[in-house]
Amino acid sequence: MRLQPGDRLGPHEIVSAVGAGGMGEVYRARDPRLGRDVAIKVLPSAVAADVDRLHRFEQEARAAAALNHPNILAVYDVGADANTTFIVSELLEGRDASGADEERSRCSSQGD
């Protein structure tokens, strides 16, 4: 499901797409209740339709939400809206993982 700026998932308003991969699509969204930007990961419909995988996802979200560590993304909410299953987390600013991989590769090749 491709969301557009202005679409809503629960109380969250989609601002922009951040990225997509095999485990879903990630969006920047605004939480008007708390006045902050968050990240929303939307699960692919195949994952959300599989009861075992959905249960595992919910367990992992609860486990992550119980942790407090600077290297672990804070999980704020898990929900479903109009057959769309999603997780709401802290939004981290910065470059994406592919940019970090490219930089690491470039640095290691310069050391040769």
**CATH label of the domain that carries residue 102:** 3.30.200.20
Task: Give the residue with greater pLDDT, 31 vs 104.
Answer: 31
Contact 7, 20 (CB under 8 A): no
Contact 15, 27 (CB under 8 A): yes
Instruction: For residue 68, count CB atoms less than 10 angstroms from its CB and return exposed for 0-12, middle for 13-18, buried for 19 or more.
Output: exposed
Q: Per the domain annotation, does 63 fall within a domain?
A: yes
What's the number of domains the chain is made of? Answer: 1
Task: Give the residue with greater pLDDT, 82 vs 27.
Answer: 27
Q: Per the domain annotation, does 101 fall within a domain?
A: yes
Nearest to 17 by CA among 30, 31, 7, 4: 4
| pLDDT at 81 (0 to 100) | 86
Q: Tell me the mean pLDDT in the region 2-29.
A: 91
Fill in the amino acid letter for 96.
D
Residue span of the structural domain in which 67 resides: 8-110
